[in-house]
Amino acid sequence: MTMVPDNRGNDTILDEDLQDMLSTVPLTERDALIIAMYEDGLSTYEIAQELEMNRHTISKVLKENRIETRTIADYHKLKHSDIEELFNKGKTKHEIAKELGLTYYTVRKVLEDRGLILNKKDRETVSIARYIQMKNKGYDNEYIAIFLDISEKQLNKLIRNSGVNVSTVRCKTKNIEGLPEVILQKLKGSTNREISLRYKIELILVREILYEFGLSKK
């Protein structure tokens, strides 16, 4: 009879050997970024949102690289006041990241959370407004994509997912300069009347434009 080795009880040893092997494998750019963002203080949920990935994938990367995870209590103890202080002194996000040894994404997320800069959704809304204004001026999608620093594929996806009826807004804003500024002021909390007076646009038209962007009731 052939004897089969009994390896029961050796799972822990095998797991440790596997981890040692994995530790010698160079990190991918994606995994390195995930680890850096986590060590900067972002939660797995925030990293998943920022990188548009599944939260379980983030947790898996951390586990595979033996990164000690934080509890909710640990997370709330993290201080990001230095980021806000440097930003208020006029430092750019890249300068802050370099000075504090953080990732650019972490700096941006903290500033977004504190209401100091626009969040991703609002930035995309302003980009749609810029797209519409540039189309009204006769620019093609290739040029607009370059101006917005994205690919044409990303631009098309942005337009498709925005929920904005681009054709309708283009018709309503043919004679309006500064559409992105109008949208930006609304996102910053200005009332429809304040926007109307500031940009000399009829109040009803302001309301109609903002409605198309989901920023006002009809």
Instruction: Supply the pTM of this predicted model.
Output: 0.59
Asked if the structure places residue 133 within a domain, the reply is yes
CA distance 59 to 67: 9
Q: How confident is the model at residue 26, as a pLDDT?
A: 64
Asked if the structure places residue 190 within a domain, the reply is yes
Contact (CB, 8 A) for 213 and 164: yes
Tell me, yes or no, whether 89 and 142 share the same domain: no
Tell me, yes or no, whether 203 and 146 share the same domain: yes
Which of 113, 129, 147 is the last residue in one of the domains? 113
Structural domain containing residue 130: 120-212
What tokens does 10 get?
């050796």
Q: Is the dihedral of CA 194, 200, 206, 209 positive or negative?
A: negative
Asked if the structure places residue 82 within a domain, the reply is yes
Which of 65, 91, 113 is the last residue in one of the domains? 113
Tell me, yes or no, whether 40 and 105 share the same domain: yes
Q: What is the pLDDT of residues 104-125, one digit of tens each?
A: 888 888 898 888 998 889 999 9
Please determine, for residue 7, whether its predicted confidence score (pLDDT) is greater than 80.
Answer: no
Tell me, yes or no, whether 202 and 162 share the same domain: yes
Q: Which helix (H) or strand (E) holds 218?
A: none
Residue type, 123: R
More confident residue, 76 or 94: 94
Which of 113, 137, 163 is the last residue in one of the domains? 113
Q: What is the pLDDT of residues 134-192, one digit of tens each?
A: 999 999 999 999 999 999 999 999 999 999 999 999 999 998 889 999 999 999 899 99
